[in-house]
Structure 1
Amino acid sequence: MADSESERAAVTTRAAREGAAVAADYFRTDLAVETKDGDTDVVTRADREAQERVIETIRADYPDVTIVGEENDAPTTVPDEGSAFVVDPIDGTNNFVRGVPFWCTSVAAVADGEPVAAATVAPAVGDEFLADETTARLNGDELSVSRRDGPETATVSPTLWWDFDSRDEYAAAAEGVVERFADLRRYGSAQISLGYVAMGALDGVFSNLRGNPWDTVAGVHLVRCAGGEATDLEGNRWHHDSRGLVVSNGAVHDAVLSTARDAEAQRG
């Protein structure tokens, strides 16, 4: 059984690659699409089979570990004690089913509630974001967040899904970006967006929502390892069950946090 941090990181990477390979075989094929909690919450055979492959890969080294995941009735809560893995077989399924290449398989290793390794593999665009305990890399090259320190030069992405009864929050989030920053991006995959903060392509990613751990944990770890910052809506260090997700290069964090709070001000 694997037990060192380096072995955990290796298993995380191997599992993400295996799951991504399964998903990639279905990409841009005639794939049946089902819905879960709403018309925009979609799932496919590719999601389920990719998660099964990820779990099989992890279980080969960690037969009894908790595996938190989005599909197949997996546990949905990260334990605050002991080891666990957090899995998103396809983050960006709406992109996936439309043939848009911004989707990924994401896996994080967690110890006592804190991520210690992460892998976000995006085969359709040829990118692998990997992190051990301290260092983040993209396709083998060490990552660092951007140095942009003025909001007027920053590009920021509102992320996660505001449902139809929360569109005033979504609108406030978008308006806040337009008013404060140089430009807005929205890729349709939280994990890819977080990876882009880690590599310096984006300067901030935010939401006033509470994200699922499979949408957030791996990417937050990548950003922190690349020198960035992640907090909740109160400005406290982000945790897997935090309300709000505010991630940045650090230099423009206050402006990103203010934009997330603008969205939250519309709630209820």
Structure 2
Amino acid sequence: MTGQNTPTSGAGDTAARADLAERAARAGGAVASGFFRRRVAVETKAGKTDVVTRADRDAQRQVIAAVRTEYAEDAVVGEEEDELKEVPETGAAWIIDPVDGTNNFVREIPVWATSVAAVVDGRPVAAANVLPELGDVYTADAEGAYRNGEAVSVSAESDPEAMMVAPTLWWDRNHRDAYAAACRETVERFGDLRRVGSAQATLSMVAAGSLDGAFTNLSANPWDAVAGALLVERAGGTVTDLAGEPWRHDARGLVASNGRAHDQLLAAARAVEDVD
């Protein structure tokens, strides 16, 4: 998906979608923030660490309501409830994660994001990741990537032994060996490891140069990665799948970097895949 030409949609329409992505993400983030550290009830979905709250559902509804005011016919791909779970290959769609990092959210850790990406014909054109508790808003449009309205770029670090890298997404209880391998590959190949607990926040930090790279061998849900992957690309970084090809929403693996030691990150992700 990233690393390819932007799909055909007029510059004005792309700018409008970028503006709406930010406004919708801000609105959804405000709803979720209203529940933060308020002892909201927690439910589990597929596993003990796959959690959801009323904040997730209410925030997603708010984002959709914002989108529908201007693009009533566009498809919606959302993590919660009965929205689409796959990105349409044709037409316009909005990809929503109302609270990316719900485990952080329910444990009162302020690193979580409300994420909105606009795609046309399966490719992203705009994105916004809002981190309400940190006061940061990351956006991407046709021209670049921004944090709080200021242009950002990936880091210039080229020495792997000085790089800070994040294994990202979540290896569940059936894949503990892969999780351990991801941590081992990181500490053996790079200077330091960070586990942020939100894939969208992680990718936003790669885009802004706070982290030098992030990787997983897993297939990401579109709401966990599309917005962040576009941010990294627009900030001058590299985003690929396990084969080293430009990343798409349906790819196996996700490797995002400043482009200066991408092969090392790819090797780390492939080593985890061998274990998994």
Q: TM-score range by the shorter chain?
A: over 0.9
Aligned counterparts, 1:184-263, within 5 A: 184-263=193-272
- Whole-angstrom CA distance in 2 between matches of 1:187 and 1:242: 22
Query: Structure 1 stretches (4+) deviating beyond 4 angstroms?
Result: none
- The total of aligned residue pairs comes to 266
- Whole-angstrom CA distance in 1 between matches of 2:143 and 2:122: 16
- Whole-angstrom CA distance in 2 between matches of 1:144 and 1:11: 23
- Scaled by the length of structure 2, the TM-score of the pair is 0.95
Which digits, 9 at most, give the CA deviation of each residue in 1:181-223, with x for residues without a partner? 0000001000000000000010000000000000000000000
1:165 to 2:174 alignment: yes
- Which amino acid in 2 is paired with 1:99? E
Return the match for 2:119 from 92, 104, 110.
110
Residues 242-251 or 3-12, more deviating: 3-12
Q: Paired residue for 1:81? A: 90
1:65 to 2:74 alignment: yes
Quote how far apart the aligned CAs of 1:134 are: 2.4
Return the match for 1:147 from 137, 146, 156.
156
- Whole-angstrom CA distance in 1 between matches of 2:50 and 2:84: 19
Q: Paired residue for 2:7? A: none
- Does the 8 Å CA contact 1:203/1:252 hold for their aligned counterparts? no
- Whole-angstrom CA distance in 2 between matches of 1:139 and 1:6: 17
- Which amino acid in 2 is paired with 1:144? S
- Which amino acid in 2 is paired with 1:9? A
Q: Paired residue for 2:18? A: 9
Quote how far apart the aligned CAs of 1:252 are: 1.1
- Whole-angstrom CA distance in 2 between matches of 1:196 and 1:22: 23
Return the match for 1:174 from 172, 183, 203.
183
- Whole-angstrom CA distance in 1 between matches of 2:272 and 2:254: 12
Aligned counterparts, 1:41-60, within 5 A: 41-60=50-69
Which digits, 9 at most, give the CA deviation of each residue in 1:16-68, with x for residues without a partner? 00000000000000210000001100000000000000000000001111010
Secondary structure, aligned partner of 1:29: coil
- Which amino acid in 1 is paired with 2:152? L
Secondary structure, aligned partner of 2:275: coil
- Scaled by the length of structure 1, the TM-score of the pair is 0.98
Q: Paired residue for 2:6? A: none
User: Percent identity, aligned pairs only?
Assistant: 56
CA RMSD of aligned residues (A): 1.0
- Whole-angstrom CA distance in 2 between matches of 1:172 and 1:133: 37
- Which amino acid in 2 is paired with 1:161? W
